[in-house]
Amino acid sequence: MSLNGVLRLACSFLLVAGVVSISTKTASADEPKTTKVTIKGLELEIPAAWNSQPPANSMRLAQFLVPGATPEASAELVISSFGGAVDANLNRWAAQFAADGREVKVTRGKVPQGEYYLSDITGTFNQPVGPPMAGKTKAVPGTRSLSVMLLTPEKGTFFLKLTGPDATVKAAADDLRKTFGASAKDETPYTPQ
């Protein structure tokens, strides 16, 4: 089966299972085309250029490939939903980067779907290799991660994590915020405890 066939099959499974629904939004000439994606009640407007992929593991509700200047410069957006305190998640995300040279900026904001916290981290990412239980990682310098914890009052807590080369993630930062209706200008600084 071709890669396109596998992707169609995976998306069909998620649609039938009721986890993900997809519809395309028609854009005006000055507005980029987006695809409306609903994941467990969370509504997102994903840029049409971001390619849906089958989730790599059962903890992921959805994932997208965010194209970079070259295929090697692509980033990955992962969407998941589970619990945990705000500061515990922010600290966990920071710990995924080597302490030496790591830069972290955390902001918070509010959108119609709920309150959110956004962690912007640059440095050397300790990329997981192999099964999660093995705990093996590979150092990937020049990485940036934008991780969002979106607290929706009735649907639960969702995580949107965009990770990849610094330039690619930086270029996609505004689009990531737009997926859930946020804007950097409306955010305020937040310091994890």
Which H, E and C letters describe the chain, residue by residue? CCHHHHHHHHHHHHHHCCCEEEEEECCCCCCCCEEEEEECCEEEEEECCCEEECCCCCCEEEEEEECCCCHHHCEEEEEECCCCCHHHHHHHHHHCECCCCCEEEEEEEEECCEEEEEEEEEEEEEEECCCHHHCCEEEEEEEEEEEEEEEECCCEEEEEEEEEEHHHHHHHHHHHHHHCCCCHHHCEECCCC
Which of 9-23, 39-53, 84-98, 123-137 is predicted with the least confidence, judged by mean pLDDT? 9-23
CB 29 within 8 A of CB 73: no
Q: In the beta sheet, which residues pair with residue 158?
A: 150
CB neighbour list of residue 151: distance below 8 Å, 6 or more residues apart: 86, 114, 115, 116, 157
pLDDT value of residue 34: 92
pLDDT of residue 10: 45
Would you say residue 185 has pLDDT above 90?
yes
Q: Which fold has domain 34-189?
A: Protein Transport Mog1p; Chain A (3.40.1000)
The predicted pLDDT at position 31 comes to: 59
Name the burial class of residue 75, with classes exposed (0-12), middle (13-18) and buried (19+) by CB atoms within 10 angstroms of its CB. buried
Evaluate whether 70 touches 133 at the Cβ level (below 8 Å): no
Residue 21's pLDDT band, with cuts at 50, 70 and 90, is low
Confidence band of 135 (pLDDT split at 50, 70, 90): confident
pTM of the predicted model as reported, rounded to 2 decimal places: 0.83
Which pLDDT tens digit goes with each residue over 61-82?
A: 999 999 999 999 999 999 999 8
Question: Given phi > 0 = left and psi -120 to 50 = alpha, else beta, which region is 84?
Answer: left
Range 161-185 average pLDDT:
97
Amino acid at the residue 184: A
Span 123-132, pLDDT tens digits? 999 998 887 7
> Which tens digit of pLDDT belongs to each residue from 99-110?
999 999 999 999
Task: Report the alpha-carbon angle 37-179-132, nearest 5.
Answer: 80
Confidence band for 3, pLDDT divided at 50, 70 and 90? very low
Across the chain, mean pLDDT equals: 87
Partners of 165 in the β-ladder: 143
Is the pLDDT at 172 greater than 60? The verdict is yes
Report CA torsion sign: 74, 61, 2, 4: negative
Residue 9 reports pLDDT greater than 50: no
